[in-house]
Structure 1
């Protein structure tokens, strides 16, 4: 089984943390969209986060999701929603496991988010293309590398591919950008 995850196009969030905020996607780079659309042809059933930016990206790629899956929403950043990255608190040097457990006030931790995303991905039976968020990609990667998944870069409109052999997941490619 092959799982292809395409992160949505850049969000129009003015450089602020989007998380659960439902913001539009910038789908104006037609060349990048065409390159990524060509890469995901035949990737299997399409499912997407219900976030507007994911639905807009899927439409711009010419894809129609078979279903919108609420569990694939981005991490709820609570009090951090809408903040510019430079306004986020400095958590200091945390081991990956501690960072994965950290919960912003009123939000959810990476571990919380992965606990809702991973069962959806584990239940998939055939090749599937997921249009979702950076957090969704990292949750998928956590099935292979645990909390170290937080260290992966996940660019807008990038593709990550995992394969499952029986019950074992393997990473095929991470962060394949349109310009790569």
Structure 2
């Protein structure tokens, strides 16, 4: 059976606007308002899955998707000890570590994960049989890193392409197919899904 997975990136938070690493905070007022305006634009009757975290749950709720199931395999990239710190600050104090993390997919953030780790985890999830989804349709509100990892996996791109995929807030990326053979539609604005 063909599976359709619609990945929705969450709305903005104050931390995301400031370029803060992996700080799980609620949607800010502009992000929440934008999400409410997009409510009703996603297909219904789909299994709803979430990256663990406040902003993905709040985005799903504001979109009218209800309570989704948090899936650990869909967690965002763990920035380790950089969590809660602005990228500019970390880059100023740990320039070489940040450069390696951004250019060497196997290099993990200190105490965190590498791009390779996330791509492997998301690829395994994507290729797993969808036994919990009889319709074969999934809407997943997931962190941008999960969308990037899915795009790398679906296209067979090298891991070095991970940071080359821009994922806008409240955008959709649709994958259709099955294990080992995926088609991808990148970055549609929410409302045109």
Any gaps of 5 or more consecutive residues in structure 2? 131-135
**Is structure 2 residue 147 aligned with structure 1 residue 137?**
yes
- Alignment: residue pair count: 176
Contact 1:9 1:27 in 2 (8 A): no
Which residue matches 2:189?
Answer: 177
1:56 and 1:82 mapped to 2: Cα distance? Answer: 19
2:53 and 2:42 mapped to 1: Cα distance? Answer: 20
Cα 1:67–1:179 shift into 2, 3 Å: closer
1:166 and 1:16 mapped to 2: Cα distance? Answer: 34
Partner of 1:160, secondary structure, is: strand
Shift of 1:127: 1.5
Which residue matches 2:127?
Answer: 122
**Is structure 2 residue 176 aligned with structure 1 residue 163?**
yes
Which residue matches 1:79?
Answer: 81
Shift of 1:105: 1.0
Choose which of 38, 60, 63 in structure 2 pairs with 1:58. Answer: 60
> What's the Cα RMSD here?
2.7
Shift of 1:157: 1.3
Which residue matches 1:107?
Answer: 112
Shift of 1:154: 0.7
Contact 2:57 2:68 in 1 (8 A): no
1:134 and 1:142 mapped to 2: Cα distance? Answer: 12
Which residue matches 2:13?
Answer: 11
Contact 1:27 1:57 in 2 (8 A): no
Post-superposition CA distance 1:136-165 (Å, at most 9, x none): 101111111232132011111111111115
Any gaps of 5 or more consecutive residues in structure 1? none
Cα 1:53–1:93 shift into 2, 3 Å: closer
Shift of 1:102: 2.1
Partner of 2:148, secondary structure, is: helix
1:56 and 1:140 mapped to 2: Cα distance? Answer: 22
Which residue matches 1:42?
Answer: 44
2:86 and 2:57 mapped to 1: Cα distance? Answer: 24
Residues 32-41 or 48-57, more deviating: 32-41
